[in-house]
Amino acid sequence: MTRAVPPLPPRDGVPASRLWLPAGDWPDLLAFLVARFPHLDADVWRARFAGGEVLDELGQPLGADTPYAAGRCLHYFRDVPPERVVPFAETVLYRDERLVAVDKPHFLASIPSGKHLHETLLMRLRKSLNLPDLTPIHRLDRETAGVMLFCADPAHRGAYQTLFAERRVAKTYEALVHYRPGLTLPARHCSRLVERDDSFVMHEVDGEPNSETRIELIAARGDIAHLRLSPATGKKHQLRAHLAALGAPIVNDRWYPRLLPDGPDDYARPLKLVARAIAFTDPLDGAPRRFESARTL
């Protein structure tokens, strides 16, 4: 049974990665880490050891030649190349001792992942609000702007996440789409969404529906329509996949209906999708909560 190991204090707002050592016969920690992370050169790990960036359960630096011992816990801090600063600011809509509601800009990742670490909404807020224990209650795609919720007290995060799991949160989005003549609105679109085998995008397949979105027309001008979207479920890329499947993809979507080659962000062409509002009854004090984005499409 894995024993409890408390987390190490973050560095510059960045939490340490944690790695439990599996059974194996590596002679030392360096040999194991080189085998565990083949994309990293051995010299990278030697430099981390030399800089005291590989630590034991108590936060004490370890040497590259430390004998390998299955079952112990290592901590290390991610080494991320310089990040491109996202030139758009988030806006704090609400803050108390438990809950933080934020209006996220386009192009800013919600949480650290891949090449995005400091330039993420979570890391920005931990630093600017001095809340090192801040955690997301849900997520938005990096390309999507709008309302996102965070929990400032880890003891209460589960209560808020349960609201989403039990579908007791009313979420409203707005989008500009390439309007298809003959699309009858309002409509309720249900389908089974799964991730493609050859990429990270979602597509519809036969089978029991696992996603549902209500779609309403706000206005239409020429071949562009302004829609209100109310998802009853929260599948990955649900709104983008649903609208693409209906022949009305979101304006400036680089993934749906066709995955375009990766390239630098074009700040003049954001995805025309915003999480407009979130409403729910607070599970801890029973107060009605509603937060709305001021961002325009």
The tens digit of pLDDT for each residue in 36-66 reads 998 888 999 999 999 888 999 888 999 999 9
For 31, 76, 77, the CA distances from 11, given in Å and listed in that order, are: 26, 11, 8
**Beta strands 211-221; 187-195: pairing state:** antiparallel
* CATH class given for the domain over 17-76: alpha beta
* Omega prior to 264 cis, within 30 of 0: no
7 or 32, greater pLDDT: 32
**Token duo for residue 241:** 């996949």
**pLDDT, position 6:** 59
**Token duo for residue 249:** 């993809």
**pLDDT, position 58:** 86
**pLDDT single digits (tens) 275-291:** 999 999 999 999 999 99
pLDDT of 10 over the 90 cut: no
- Non-local CB neighbours of 101 within 8 Å, separated by 6+ positions: 92, 93, 94, 95, 147, 148, 149, 150, 278, 289, 291
**pLDDT, position 145:** 98
**pLDDT, position 2:** 47
Specify the CATH number for 91-292; select among 3.40.50.970, 3.30.1120.80, 3.30.2350.10, 3.30.70.2860. 3.30.2350.10
Extents of the domains making up the chain: 17-76, 91-292
84 or 105, greater pLDDT: 105
Which range is least confidently modeled, 23-37, 46-60, 109-123, 213-227?
A: 109-123
pLDDT of 117 over the 80 cut: no
Helix (H, G, I), strand (E, B) or coil at 238: helix
pLDDT of 16 over the 90 cut: no
Q: What share of the chain is helix, strand, coil (3-state, %, to 5)?
A: 15, 30, 55
**pLDDT, position 13:** 62
**pLDDT, position 199:** 83
**pLDDT, position 220:** 94
Mean pLDDT of the region 15-19: 82
Which of 32, 2, 7 has its CA nearest to residue 17?
Answer: 7
**pLDDT single digits (tens) 165-207:** 999 999 999 999 999 888 899 999 999 999 998 888 999 999 9
Q: Distance (Å, rounded) from C-alpha 273 to C-alpha 239?
A: 9
Mean residue pLDDT of the chain comes to: 92
**pLDDT, position 17:** 83
